[in-house]
Amino acid sequence: MSMNNSPNVFLDPNANRFQVNIINESHDNNETSQEDVGSDPPHYEETSFTDEAHNRLRISYRPGKRELYDNFLQNGEKTEASLHPYDTHTKMYYLQTFGHNTVDPVPKIDYYRNTGSVSGNKLSRPSLLEIHEQLAKNIAVSTGSVERVANGESTAGDETAVSKEEENKTGFVKFGWVKGVLVRCMLNIWGVMLFIRLSWIVGQAGIGLGIVVIGLSVVVTTLTGISMSAICTNGVVRGGGAYYLISRSLGPEFGGSIGLIFAFANAVAVAMYVVGFAETVVELLKESDTLMVDESNDIRIIGTITVVCLLSISVAGMEWEAKAQVILLVVLLVAIANFFIGTVIPTNNEKNARGFFNYQASIFAENFGPDFRSGEGFFSVFAIFFPAATGILAGANISGDLKDPQSAIPKGTMLAILITTIAYIGVAVCVASCVVRDATGNINDTVVPGMSCNGSSACSLGYDFSRCASQPCDYGLMNNFQVMSMVSGFGPLITAGIFSATLSSALASLVSAPKVFQALCKDNIYKALHFFAKGYGKNNEPIRGYVLTFIIAMAFILIAELNTIAPIISNFFLASYALINFSCFHASYAKSPGWRPAFRYYNMWVSLFGALLCCGVMFVINWWAALITYAIELFLYIYVTYKKPEVNWGSSTQALYYINALDSALALTTVEDHVKNFRPQCIALTGAPMIRPALLDITHTFTKNNGLCICCEVYTGPRKLCVKEMNSGMAKKQDWLTKNKRKAFYAAVAADSFRDGVKSLLQASGLGRMKPNTLVIGFKKDWRNATATQVENYVGVIHDAFDFELGMIIVRISQGFDISQVLQVQEELEKLEQERLALEATIKENDFEEGKSGICGFFRKASTLNISKHETKKESTINTLQSMHVGEFNQKLLEASTQFKKKQGKGTIDIWWLFDDGGLTILIPYILTIRKKWKNCKLRIFTGGKVNRIEEEKLVMASLLSKFRIKFADINIICDINIKPNKESWKFFEEMIEPYRLHESCKDITTAEKLKRETPWKITDAELEAFKEKSYRQVRLNELLQEHSRAANLIVLSLPVARKGVVSDYLYMAWLEILSKNLPPILMVRGNHKNVLTFYS
């Protein structure tokens, strides 16, 4: 392979790593194009790394076909290819990868995208079938479409491409990690607490415990940030923030519940922050005596105006909101810097009287220890401070508006936590080193000469604030919330900082709530909320969500009872943090191969500790609010679980289900089977489960919540077609079982014959101890019209089941099980109904436009009349079909197919336990009677016995059943099983087997031998004579069944066993036919002659 290592190749951003060449596979073309000169043979070219010909495909042309290829090349400039384009007649062209003629594409990210990806088009790689099977000429290459086919795109991807082009035209506004995450998180974490509460907290807890309070809060947020970083870097992050992270990790149940309360919490937080801003403005109005109405109403008025202004900024677009955030951050940083500058500016007497003395070691020492007052303690102070540390999700909440959320969210969030923590600790230490806890504010309260200071730092600095111990004072760390304004170099800047902190937090929450809510609504977890999923403009702005958030915020501003709801909102945020931590732990614990976060600095046990810490902090902040949060979350979790949204996000919950199932299956293999734990584990040969629902229903009745049930289907015929059909239908049929609440698995095999397929299923089905022990099969009602091979396969399956030591259940109902014809007719009628509705919609559309005047309207009217005629014709066709199929629609068949779904009325289950098979014949009906649908049916036992020992036989059977703890209504001893049947019954049996008899005794030996060789499946006279008594018994049993069990709801009968190689298939089928003919639903059961019942404890 030739390589070009010139630096230009690697510097060119448009150059492709691989040049993929289309190769002509003609073996009769000896001419070569100019590009092929010197190559031998002419059809093959090496893959190169050059940027020759502007990265276009190098092509060897057929004579006279250059123009066609020129047209082809004009359709696109891409070189990567995934499919081989070729025509369907005589010419074939392949894409060359690594110098070989192959359909295999090189690895490419576009093959791994989701459908509808906004970051690029999803391409479809060749299927395994296309690569594995012989090359088929099934893809036509037309001018203008070759490039698309060459790149693995199908028509389904065209819409995605169009939408992508539109997106590119309009241009999304995407943010980097600084403006998108760092700025938002810092603004949200630096709240009003920094300016008006931090001084009080450090006064109560002291510098030492104050740092511990800040540190503990930071531990919670840092652990959450680490967990969030791990989740964010484990795949592409879309819009939705915390909701997206939790839902994609833990599934829709957790995500849906936390997403709703998180969005609501952000909406109410808007009101909280706005009211905080309004209160500060009202305080300024009070000082200047310019209140509009009164304090409460002024707060409402100012709050309303503020929310409207913030909503206008948000609706204007994310770029305007981002600019506003940057301005607010600048103001906030100036305010913080103003505070630090103020601490070193020399004080005056007025500030000294209020407790500010610049940096003093004595003040630092005095304020280092705690001094809790007014019933406060460490945890109560912590509960007040902790909301100031929240806000770390501000960047994640707009994840859909970030250029690279995987990188931006971890980097921006963790750096914001670090910067804000340093700021909080710095402010706390500085303010506690400059200001005493209590001060009178009176400049005349100076120290009298000779006065003892008793270790008071204020006293040592010349001021006597001792009266604050006996009466309340207005200044100092403990009494004045405006300490930072007093300390700062320019007081109004602190007020501006408070405005900035409140407005920025309100703005962030006003943006976060609609974004999270929109992502939740798009996933359609709560169908009633899907209205709010629609976005507008180039940034897909959730305008409807903004309006809803505005309404919620306004409602709480007008209610003005935020002190009550504030703890609940804090707990809502903490619940989100807890679930983010738990998501990281759960994903790690599930050990899914898909859990591969690029962020490595996490530990699953640390994440679990973080989750528990968040839950603990919830109770520390407010125990009743924590209980309310848990109650709401539990309610929403149960609701979403009940609704079962049709989503599949590959959550760690799914991974853990698999791990638990695997561990349980492996643990089960170490447990020896015990007869007390026996349960029927059935393979039911239903074919497609919807084709024979009654067979599935009766099997499901005694396996539901009790044992394994596998619905099996055998595909016979050309292997390629069978495998294709089987693979395409697997998921659909399993979904049908799930949708119809059938606790069963679906399995299918492709085999040369029905018997071979069943044999494979009998041997390979199951896992460990969860292997089938019973085969359930429907009676072959059409055996007399079937071929000899089909009958041989059917009876062979019964023999194979016994060979593999499985129990056997043959089920027969009068109408049969197969309803495929009914389903086919229903499907046809549904299609016709859809066509009729489509025609009606077309006519309505034309009628709507018919109002337009002129010749156009006339022609539209004419076309409407034509459509109406067509519709009439269609309707008449439908009516004809319906009337035609009324007779064919076998109502009895439909009723029979659902008979085991219905609740059985009072009646009996008659058990003809003629042979001891280990107890399966008695266990199956017992299980039926403990089911809700069969609980009104009583068990009647029929068994053989002698005439002179009827009572003794009854007592023996009653004793046996009582030891097995099986209740029964009656026991009948049948003494005349072995007498000959009546002549009519025997004649019917003889007429039934007549077409299958050989009658060799009536022919000469040569002819008889020839017939035996030609038709080995026929019943010989010798065989019929040898098993005459057994044949009598089957006919006689049917007579007895008609006599005793004709009115039973269900009959369970011991299945006769035919010796393999001795009893012919047709004779055995005749026995089963005569035995079960003209009876209620009947189960012919034969266990594997191993005990399934025990009377030992």
What digits encode the pLDDT tens for the residues 833-855?
A: 888 888 888 887 776 555 544 44
Q: If we measure between CA atoms, which residue out of 231, 235, 233, 229 comes closest to residue 255?
A: 231
| 940 has pLDDT over 50 | yes
pLDDT tens by residue, 681-703: 999 999 999 999 999 999 999 89
Radius of gyration of the chain from Cα atoms?
42
User: Are 677 and 769 contacting, i.e. CB atoms less than 8 angstroms apart?
Assistant: no
∠ at Cα 644 (639, 646), nearest 5°? 140
Percent of the chain with pLDDT over 70: 80
Among 263, 174, 764, residue whose Cα is nearest residue 514: 263
Alpha helical stretches, state H, 354-404: 361-368, 378-385
Phi, psi (rounded to 5 degrees) for 775: -105, 130
Tokens 């076309």 belong to which residue?
863
Q: What is the pLDDT of residue 84?
A: 40
Q: Which residue has the higher pLDDT, 730 or 648?
A: 730
Reading the block at residue 942, the tokens are: 């029929």
State the Cα–Cα distance between residues 44 and 940, nearest whole angstrom: 82
DSSP state of 678: -
Largest CA distance in the chain: 150
Query: Per residue in 506-552, pLDDT tens?
Result: 888 888 888 888 888 888 888 888 888 888 877 778 888 889 999 98
pLDDT digits (tens, 9 = 90+) for 547-569: 999 998 888 888 766 667 778 78
Q: Is residue 884 exposed (0-12), middle (13-18) or buried (19+ Cβ within 10 Å)?
A: exposed
Tens of pLDDT, residue by residue over 140-179, are 433 333 333 333 333 333 333 434 443 444 445 678 888 8
The amino acid that residue 884 corresponds to is M
Helix, strand, coil shares of the chain as percentages rounded to 5? 60, 10, 35
Range 895-904 average pLDDT: 85
Report residue 458's pLDDT band, with 50, 70 and 90 as the boundaries: confident
Q: What is the mean pLDDT of residues 869-877?
A: 45
Q: What is the β-pairing status of strands 93-97 and 21-24?
A: antiparallel
pLDDT value, residue 562? 63
Higher local confidence (pLDDT), 314 or 213: 213
Contacts of 411 (CB under 8 A, 6+ apart): 177, 181, 182
Token representation of residue 380: 């109560």
pLDDT tens digit string along 322-379?
888 888 889 989 999 999 999 898 888 888 888 888 888 888 988 898 888 888 888 8
Q: Tell me the C-alpha distance between 751 and 749, whole Å.
A: 6
Chain centre distance of CA 107: 28
DSSP 589: H
Summarize pLDDT for 473-488 with one digit per residue, the tens: 888 888 888 888 888 8
Please say if the pLDDT value at position 21 is more than 60.
no
Average pLDDT over residues 1040-1059: 93
Neighbours of 337 (CB within 10 A): 14
Cβ atoms of residues 546 and 514 within 8 Å = yes
Distance separating alpha carbons of residues 757 and 751, to the nearest angstrom: 5
Phi, psi of 1019 (to 5 degrees): -85, 120
Q: Which burial class, exposed, middle or buried, applies to 823 when counting CB atoms under 10 A from its CB (0-12, 13-18, 19+)?
A: middle
* Entry pTM: 0.68
Burial (CB < 10 A; 0-12, 13-18, 19+), residue 348, is: exposed
pLDDT at 827: 81
Position 1011 scores a pLDDT of: 84
- Rounded Cα distance between 1013 and 469, Å, is 120
Q: Average pLDDT of the chain?
A: 79
Contact between 651 and 708 under an 8 Å Cβ cutoff? The reply is no
pLDDT (tens digit per residue) in 581-634 = 998 898 888 888 888 888 888 899 999 999 999 999 889 888 888 898 889 888
Q: Residues 331, 496: contact at Cβ < 8 Å? A: yes
DSSP letter, residue 767: B
| Residue 938 DSSP symbol | E
pLDDT for the residue numbered 1079: 93
- Higher pLDDT, residue 87 or 931: 931
Through-space distance between the first and last CA atoms of the chain, rounded to whole angstroms: 77
For residues 546 and 507, give the distance between their C-alpha atoms in angstroms, rounded to a whole number.
11
Name every residue whose Cβ is closer than 8 Å to that of residue 356 and which is 6 or more positions away in sequence.
347, 434, 435, 483, 486, 487
Mean pLDDT for the stretch of residues 1022-1045 = 92
Confidence at residue 793, expressed as pLDDT on a 0 to 100 scale: 94
